[in-house]
Amino acid sequence: MSGPPGAMGPTGDWEQLYATSEVSSLPWYTTALDADIERALQEHDLRGRRILDLGTGPATQAMNLAKRGFDVLATDISPSAIKKAKASAKAAGLSIEFRVDNVLASNLAPNLVDAIVDRGVFHVLPEDKRPAYVRTVHRVLRPNGWLFLKCFSDKEPGTWGPHRIAESELRGYFRGTFEIRSIVETVFYGNVKPPPKALFATFQRGESARPTRPTQNRERKRSTRS
Ligand SMILES: C[S@@+](CC[C@H](N)C(=O)[O-])C[C@H]1O[C@@H](n2cnc3c(N)ncnc32)[C@H](O)[C@@H]1O
């Protein structure tokens, strides 16, 4: 499968892509709420809470969350993505707060949300930018808030599209800043068939505004599935 122009590499020009593409043609597009995200929200009983859909793109995740009664804030680096997402939400009669925001230089306030959903943002960031991402999501989450992150796994063959990330690598970025609750093997549903192999991680911010101490011994590693 070849992706559209601008989405072929992790440094794709997101604004150019969204300005010139029909969002339903993008590789990550799905009308459904990601099953791993839905399960995690239920497991941690986050009903009705304030949620950030980070890098919302077509906003299908944000809209599904709003339909389920969450108070949704949705951001993206691309103004065209946000413009199209606003139109889609309006057409669906859904109330969602949309903002253009770059997670690597974010203007979002501290302690803003109870949970963050990242479906496909972390894995498009260059390695040297990932620590800045971790700092932003930690700051934006309220104490004990949750980060649910889906990224391509290093078990996905090939090189098209986003970075492949190994479980140990993912742990390395978040260890010491978040409690690592689980990382499980899964797939990334969208327009790509078969769906690429992925990881779904559940991280929790501690009580303190400062990063927590290393958590290796307290990690709970769940069995893998795909
Ligand atoms: C693979 S797409 C996933 C879109 C959406 N989360 C979904 O599941 O349909 C990655 C998204 O991240 C956005 N993005 C990339 N870099 C970003 C950044 N630094 N800050 C915020 N959003 C970013 C892109 O514009 C794009 O919409």
Identify the pLDDT of residue 222: 46
Q: What is the mean pLDDT of residues 28-49?
A: 96
Q: Which of 21, 121, 137, 191 most suits a substitution to test ligand 1, by most atoms within 8 Å of the C-beta?
A: 121
Tell the residue nearest (CA) to atom 2 of ligand 1: 120
CA of 170 to the centre of ligand 1 (A): 18
Residue nearest to atom 18 of ligand 1 (CA): 102
CA 42 to ligand 1 center in whole angstroms: 24
Which residues are bridge partners to 113 per DSSP? 141
Q: Which residues pair with 141 in a beta bridge?
A: 113
Q: Residue 22: CB partners within 8 Å, gap ≥ 6?
A: none
pLDDT tens, position by position, 130-179: 999 999 999 999 999 999 999 999 999 998 889 999 999 999 999 999 99
| Mean pLDDT of all residues belonging to the chain | 90
pLDDT value, residue 212: 61
Which residue type does 226 have?
A: S
Indicate the pLDDT class of residue 12, thresholds 50, 70 and 90.
low
Ligand 1 site residues (CB inside 6 A) read: 14, 28, 55-58, 60-61, 76-78, 81, 102-104, 119-121, 124
Torsion of CA 166, 170, 176, 180, to 10 degrees: -100
> Rounded to an integer, what distance in angstroms lies between the CA atom of residue 31 and that of residue 48?
21
What's the predicted TM-score (pTM) here? 0.91
Looking at ligand 1, which atom is closest to the CA of residue 102?
20
Residue 118 has pLDDT above 90, yes or no: yes
Coil/strand/helix, residue 2? coil
Q: Give CA torsion, residues 68, 111, 78, 100, to 10 deg.
A: 100
| Atom 11, ligand 1: residue with shortest CA distance | 55
Residue 5 has pLDDT above 60, yes or no: no
